[in-house]
Structure 1
Amino acid sequence: MRIILDPDPRTAEEIFSKASYRDLTDNHDVIVCRGDDREAFYTRHLPDCEILLGQADMGPERLAMASKLKAIINVETNFLPNIDYETCFQRGIHVLAPSGVFALPVAEMGLGMALSLARGIHSEHKRFTEGRESYGLSGNQDAELLTGSDFGFVGFGDLGRALFALLPGFRPNSVKVFDPWLPDAHLERMGVTPASLDAVLEQSRFVFVVASITTENQHLLNAGNLSRMQAGASLILLSRAAVVDFDAVAKLVGSGRIRFATDVFPEEPVAANDPVRTLPNTLFSPHRAGALESALQEIGKRVIEDIGQIAKGLPPVSCRRAERETVRRMRSKPIDKT
């Protein structure tokens, strides 16, 4: 198949192992965009392109040039608002993203964060290095077990399901999920209890925020509903910062009401003088939970799998497909590696 490879801001070396890249180039006609004059590049190569690997703008004019196009695969792994999705749906062009590659790495980080908040691992390490440690019971006054606890999820996509799969060893007392895009019966079949957002916040000791950002859920977790959380409960933010009102979280955390861990922030990199850096009862990770070489190279593997499916006239199975009903409501930021 004729393939345009334009993964910017990622690189081919990041998302393909040497073996995967050989597989791609040995079995397909791959044209690599070097980033010099993209407009001229796309004008020249789109008419013969069958697969576009990248996240370039694909509005009506470019799609009109791409008469042979079968699929656009966003290797950044988000669905961005730079594609004429309706034309793609009408023409049967698959719009895909291998977003599931980050689910397990981020889930493991989320579980580690929950453990550290519950047992004070990170905070006691800091106290020890400062010579302020407390031994035995006196060092565990605010500690609690994950085992037998009540867990809540805000969102239950790939990331939520990957994290849920890690919990059985902790024998949860309950796992409640708020996800308005999934029917209750579907959630029940997956082994969780569907619940309102208020119920998740009120009845969980550990709340994992794993929802994608959409047109409807910016600052979904605000001062009003976050105040419903139990005293000393833990909020772990793993998906997108915009789902949470950071000012509201800062007030609750600063007062000692809840514990908070996050891998994402409203603005990245976080300013050196940002007050969030001095908050107590917190655990911070600089948006690194999914950034593993193994996860990035899984992008290439899944892309190649679905290219093979498309080449055989079969539906893609390894990447997530853009859905007509939801894709225009997604609001993920493009990645920025500057």
Structure 2
Amino acid sequence: MSRTVVIVDPLPRTLDLIMEPDVRARLERLGEVVVSEEQQMSGELVDTLLPDTVLIFGQTDMPKERLDRATKLKAIINVESNFLPNIDYKTCVERGIWVITPAAAFASPVAEAALAMGLDLARGITQADRDFRAGVEQYGLAGNATTFRFAGAPVGIIGFGDLGRQFRDLIRPFKNTVRVFDPWLPGEIVTNADCIASSLDEVLTQSRLVFVFASVTSENQSFLGRREFAMMKKGAAFLLMSRAAVVDFPAMLDAAQSGHIRVATDVFPEEPVHANDPVRSLPGMLLSAHRTGGTRDAFYALGSMAVADAELIMKGLPPQLCRRADLATVNRLRSKPVTVS
């Protein structure tokens, strides 16, 4: 008897984390759902199921030899949110197998947190709290000697994908001049968003706040280093909201410790950060434990977006909500797999 199997291999996510009961019920209607959540699905079980599998939710390794056996497969839906190098994307494209991820679910909460952290660095909110608790607070103008208004301050955005565009929309009421550096986009997209398409050097030298939303690629690892931090305005704010690997992390910490710039980061080279890591005590730093995107509603959006697009795919229609793997870019991505939900 013919089977219609849906492999669910979502670690480090779990179905309870990413799907509300009604979405889980819709998933169950897509086929015979086989779930592995305690550990990654064994290779033996995957290989047994592949001939009858129509959908894969998760980060299962799918090289060509497995795709050759998955003759019914319609889509691989990565619910971790990165396109990983464990799939033969070329073969998927040739066979019309969609490879998608609902990563945009995190864009709005990350943008919201980036705004909050930018306001914090500009106005010295966390530092003022620390000073008050230590009994060294200053009042009125004296307490604002090193602060500046976010409203009207020149803003730079590095990386203008889902995150960058959500952030740009969020700050419109503040009437900032916004410069954008993104070598993967034509200038028309940037200017249509009421921004100025700029070189990296222009963004760094002309902005009072620089927000980094760039993905890690084979071409931009550690591309923000000592030279780039040195050219920023003294007292400017640098906010790392995407992936740690796009910066020379020690150089960024040195720039913060020296007092040349103030820094906020939500990401780190190794996570969880070691208890004795010196970053925890550096001055000039606003720290966040890779939490800006991980809101309850964002995780549920991962599941609902994934299931909604799977329903379309099962009807022979293209996905509409998730990001699609593009051969021109997917093999350049270098993001580390997520290990903490």
Fold in common (TM above 0.5): yes
C-alpha offsets along residues 216-238 of structure 1, whole Å, 9 cap, x if unaligned?
A: 00111011122110011000000
Match of 1:18 in 2: 21
Alignment of 1:231 onto 2:242:
no
C-alpha offsets along residues 1-50 of structure 1, whole Å, 9 cap, x if unaligned?
A: 53111111211100101111012213533222354861221121111111
Match of 1:54 in 2: 58
Distance 2:221 2:155 in 1: 22
Q: Which runs of 5+ in 2 are unaligned?
A: none
Alignment of 1:1-338 (within 5 A): 2-33=5-36, 35=39, 38-172=42-176, 174-337=177-340
C-alpha offsets along residues 139-189 of structure 1, whole Å, 9 cap, x if unaligned?
A: 1111110111100011100000111111111111x1000000001122112
Distance 1:271 1:27 in 2: 42
Distance 1:204 1:92 in 2: 44
Give the secondary structure class of the aligned counterpart of 2:263. strand
36-45 vs 232-241, which deviates more? 36-45
Contact kept, 8 Å, 1:33 with 1:41, in 2: the verdict is no
Distance 1:25 1:148 in 2: 50
Give the secondary structure class of the aligned counterpart of 1:326. helix
Distance 1:80 1:92 in 2: 19
Aligned CA distance change for structure 1 residues 210 and 140 (closer, same or farther; 3 Å) = same
Distance 1:337 1:274 in 2: 19
Aligned CA distance change for structure 1 residues 218 and 15 (closer, same or farther; 3 Å) = same
Distance 1:97 1:243 in 2: 21
Q: Which runs of 5+ in 1 are unaligned?
A: none
C-alpha offsets along residues 189-233 of structure 1, whole Å, 9 cap, x if unaligned?
A: 222110000000000000000000000001110111221100110
Task: After TM superposition, give the deviation of residue 123 of structure 1 in Å.
Answer: 0.7
Give the secondary structure class of the aligned counterpart of 1:153. strand
What letter corresponds to residue 301 of structure 2 in structure 1?
A: E
C-alpha offsets along residues 53-80 of structure 1, whole Å, 9 cap, x if unaligned?
A: 0001111121111011110000001100
Contact kept, 8 Å, 2:256 with 2:284, in 1: the verdict is yes
Contact kept, 8 Å, 1:253 with 1:282, in 2: the verdict is yes
Distance 2:170 2:203 in 1: 19
Contact kept, 8 Å, 1:146 with 1:170, in 2: the verdict is yes
What letter corresponds to residue 52 of structure 2 in structure 1?
A: D
C-alpha offsets along residues 266-307 of structure 1, whole Å, 9 cap, x if unaligned?
A: 111222222222221110001111111110010111011101
Give the secondary structure class of the aligned counterpart of 1:177. strand
Give the aligned length. Answer: 337
Distance 1:299 1:70 in 2: 19
Contact kept, 8 Å, 2:74 with 2:314, in 1: the verdict is no
Cα RMSD, aligned residues only: 1.3
271-280 vs 242-251, which deviates more? 271-280
TM-score (norm 1): 0.97
Contact kept, 8 Å, 1:54 with 1:73, in 2: the verdict is yes
What letter corresponds to residue 171 of structure 1 in structure 2?
A: K
Aligned CA distance change for structure 1 residues 263 and 304 (closer, same or farther; 3 Å) = same
What letter corresponds to residue 313 of structure 1 in structure 2?
A: G
What letter corresponds to residue 204 of structure 2 in structure 1?
A: L
Distance 2:242 2:214 in 1: 6
What letter corresponds to residue 25 of structure 1 in structure 2?
A: E
C-alpha offsets along residues 247-268 of structure 1, whole Å, 9 cap, x if unaligned?
A: 1112211111101000001111
Divergent runs of 4+, >6 A: none
TM-score (norm 2): 0.96
What letter corresponds to residue 35 of structure 2 in structure 1?
A: V
Give the secondary structure class of the aligned counterpart of 1:51. strand
